[in-house]
Structure 1
Amino acid sequence: MDPRVERTRSVVMQTATDLLVEGGPGALTMDAVALRSGVAKTTIYRHWKSRDDLLAAVIETAIPRLPEPDPEADVETSLRAAMRYSVDTLRHTEWARMLPAFIMLSQHETEIRAISERMEWQHNNVLAKLVRQAAEEGLVEGDVDVDEAIAHLQGPLMIAHLANLLPIDDQLADSLVDRFLVAFGPSADEGRRAHDE
């Protein structure tokens, strides 16, 4: 790509991101982007056909992608690393400030919903591998419900962030893993079976 074109796209994307973070989806208009960025509206439309296309591009660029676990690490270490990564995305990035708008838009905008589904699939795929590995290694019950396990790990973190209930830090990440291991550990499974009998 021509460096000048790349610079222009970068300026527009950053401006659009700033507007979305500062004022929500309603603040991100082509007029506002052109005014703040200094890039002509006709130029912006050459790169993005509509405001919705630009909005989708901003969100697609910002969404976090959970890294694949280190194959050399044990599963508990990998679980802690995954949760700490999730904490970092909520603590240090524009994504944290963009998240409320993203959640709202994913309920109403087809393209944003598709981005949300791709992000969830990618995150859940990584976490599901770790939960299954934990089951194979006897760290959690063998017949663990993978979806329930993922919700147990990620759900409280999202609620804590959105409701501003707890500090979003590595201590919280580790605590969620500890609680997960207790709730889904083999001894918990034995306790449930004894109760059922």
Structure 2
Amino acid sequence: MTAGGGDPRPARSRARLMEAATALLRSGGPSAVTIDAVTRHANVARATLYRHFPSSNDLVAAAFMSLIPPAPMPPPDGTLRERLIAVVGGWADAIAEAPTLLTAMAWLSLGPDIAEVPTAGGAVGSLRERIAEQYSAPFDAIFDSPDAPEHLGRVDRTTAFALLIGPLVFGRISTLSEFDYRATAIAAVDGFLAVSARSSGSAGA
């Protein structure tokens, strides 16, 4: 029993299942995260797994979310450029230092395994929604700020995310040995601001 009188065994079994699922996800992608493989690696009974995760979809979704660090939020103060650089720079650090983040992003956006995962229970859709909400939060905070319309006009946020983060993802998947993530983050922000200013007619304002 724990100090609070609760049974610690469910927490331990869930932790073992999550450790096994994330290891399989890293090494083999979502198709490797099967009920049999996870229970075998975790040495946990199938019935115990189903008490924690109603389906394999829920297990895959939980494993993905555990691998993805929180998105960097912008500072409350500073110019629009400074706040964007803080967010995109935070992304640069995450992409450079955490390969699992890129793995998750690549699978969600491009991976063929998405078609192989059953959609019963809506776990895949829920996963996409949760990640979309998580990663849109820092950009929403900036684009919804009072000074954003003056400098940016109306922003297509999906396109903005691609323009600001896409170069960093390219650097991670490329074979360039000395890719400068920080310099690229700043260049991406400045390019995005220049294009947005021209589109909104605020260039030189």
1:88-108 CA-to-partner distances (Å, cap 9, x unmatched) read 332223222333333335566
Give the match for residue 42 of structure 1. Answer: 47
For 1:10-21, what aligned pairs fall within 5 Å after superposition? 10-21=15-26
Give the match for residue 126 of structure 1. Answer: 138
Q: CA deviation at 1:130?
A: 1.4
Matched, 1:155 2:166: yes
Matched, 1:102 2:108: yes
CA contact (8 A) 2:33 2:60 kept: yes
Q: CA deviation at 1:168?
A: 6.6
CA distance in 1, matches of 2:25, 2:199: 47
With normalisation by structure 1, the TM-score equals: 0.76
1:137-177 CA-to-partner distances (Å, cap 9, x unmatched) read x5x34x2434243432233334444x426537222212211
Q: CA RMSD, aligned part only? A: 3.0
Q: Could you say what secondary structure the match of 2:201 adopts?
A: helix
With normalisation by structure 2, the TM-score equals: 0.73
% of aligned pairs identical? 29
Matched, 1:86 2:97: no
Q: Which runs of 5+ in 2 are unaligned?
A: 1-5
CA distance in 2, matches of 1:35, 1:74: 53
Matched, 1:63 2:74: no
Give the match for residue 174 of structure 2. Answer: 164
Aligned positions, number: 187
Q: Which amino acid aligns with 2:142?
A: L
- Aligned match for 2:192, one of 172, 180, 195: 180
CA contact (8 A) 2:17 2:42 kept: yes
